[in-house]
Structures are given as C-alpha cells and as structure tokens.
Amino acid sequence: MKPGDDLNNRFVVQDLVFEGPVATLFRGADRRTGAPVALKVLRPDIDGDVARFERECAVLAELRHPNIVRYVAHGVAAAGERYLATEWLHGEDLGRRLDRGPLDADDVLSLAQGIAAALAAMHARGIVHRDIKPANLLLPDGDIARVRVLDLGLARRTRVTRSTTRSGSLLGTPGYMAPEQVRGQRDLDARIDIFAFGAVLF
C-alpha cells in the first residue's frame, strides 16, 4: 500500500507516518465525511499477527469513549492488506511531553481522571488493555485533559487474557508490567492495567 491508493472506495491513503515491524501507519481521508483518519495497515507477510489484529479491530469497534481513540472502520483492501481506520489526532504522546519535564499537580490530576475514565469503560466490558504506558497515551493538541488511550493491539477480554506469545516472550512493556504479568501468569485481569496506570502516574 502506498500514498494515493484507494481503500474499498472509502478511504484515500495520503501520507506514510510510521513503518513498524508488524504494521504501517498512514494518514488518510474518509471519503464519506472528509475527515482525516489514521490507517493502520498490517504487513501482508505477518501471518501470525492476523488474529491479534482482528481482535484489536473488534475490541475497538465496541468502545465509544472520549478518552479512547475513536474507531472508524476496518476491513481488507483489494490487494489483501488488512486495515484499521481510526480518528486522526494531532498532538504528542505523554512520553514526549515528559521528556520536556514533569507535569504539575493539576495536570497530573487531569491526566489521571482521563486515563481512569478510559480504563473504567474498557474494564466494564471485560477488556484489559495490557500495555498502558506513556507512548500509548496521546495528548490531542497537547491538551492533557483530552488524553486518549491508543494502541489496543494487546487488548484481550478478561476471561481469555494470556501473558505470553506462542514463543514464550512476554507481552507488555517492562517498567509498566505488573508482577503477575512479568511472571507469565495466565488469566490476567484489569488489575494489571491499574498497576500500569500507577506506574505512569509515578
């Protein structure tokens, strides 16, 4: 997929934003609304991640919350690439913001309220994010009060959440993982997100 391509007569691919080992991120436009969108396109040679990508799409499709990135659509392009379209957000992630210095107490409180509200919405539906960290918390236009939780690629439903891949490597980000997640325990629940949330605030 490349800039200029059309996705199912719905989205126009515009700019390459990021190319990762599993997926490529493009900026695009929604023909129906004219609104900009983020297009996450799974690399066609990553067969083992198709199920995980489909879970991410399904989970995000059922979440509607002002502090969670908004789902637009997902599908399969004519050439066979799987894609996920979400709202396009201008801003920076919390990690980059913290590189410039710590937040003051009022900003920390505002940030905490937004993240807690997003997690409560996910947990109420039995969904565990499993990778809460500064890089997955976007501040639209730098506004901490409008924080959005991003990247539900590791999200799972509580009853089926596992902490390891088929190769036995841990899923998550060291430094934000709860002890039971690091130990590779099965049946992880919402408490691992709360632990990561506390680590972010710290």
The C-alpha R_g of the chain, in whole angstroms, comes to: 17
164 near 171, Cβ under 8 Å?
yes
Q: Is 131 among the catalytic positions?
A: yes
Q: Which residues contact 73 (CB under 8 A, 6 or more apart)?
A: 10, 11, 84, 85
Tell me which of 131, 187, 189, 193 is the catalytic residue.
131
**Rounded Cα–Cα distance for residues 150 and 69 (Å):** 6
Closest by CA position to 104, among listed 144, 64, 62:
144
Q: 55: which DSSP letter?
A: H
Closest by CA position to 118, among listed 55, 177, 197:
197
* SS3 readout for 158-185: HHHCCCECCCCCECCCCCCCCHHHHCCC
Q: What are the catalytic residues? A: 131
